Amino acid sequence: RKEVEQDPGPFNVPEGATVAFNCTYSNSASQSFFWYRQDCRKEPKLLMSVYSSGNEDGRFTAQLNRASQYISLLIRDSKLSDSATYLCVVRDSNYQLIWGAGTKLIIKP
């Protein structure tokens, strides 16, 4: 079993819709959680950290469920520019980052 698992997609979503995807992690001792965004043939960029209480940044909401060991990302009112691959990242107790393979999102006009 992979340490961090994501549905690879692609998720094909019409512009303006709401989309959500999850990421599961296997190590219950994991300490911190992040979502990165990676555009095609570009480097990953930090989208947001995921806090225990959940957090929101504009149209993006991240949630953490420690009991079930998953994190989620919700995107509201999706824009064409949201098309990208979203990488789930978990930091373990040794401060190492474990990366998911990513979920590809395609927003269609």
Partner 1 sequence: NAGVTQTPKFRVLKTGQSMTLLCAQDMNHEYMYWYRQDPGMGLRLIHYSVGEGTTAKGEVPDGYNVSRLKKQNFLLGLESAAPSQTSVYFCASSYDSGQGRNYGYTFGSGTRLTVV
74-to-28, 29, 41 alpha-carbon distances in Å: 23, 24, 24
Exactly one of 43, 53, 67, 109 binds partner 1 (CB under 8 A); which one?
43
Q: Is 99 one of the binding residues for partner 1 (CB under 8 A)? A: yes
Query: Residues in contact with partner 1, total (CB under 8 A)?
Result: 23
Given a contact cutoff of 8 angstroms between Cβ atoms, the answer to whether 56 and 75 are in contact is no
DSSP 77: S
Q: Is 42 one of the binding residues for partner 1 (CB under 8 A)? A: yes
Binding stretches for partner 1 (CB under 8 A) = 2, 4, 8, 32, 34, 41-46, 49, 51, 87, 91, 95-102
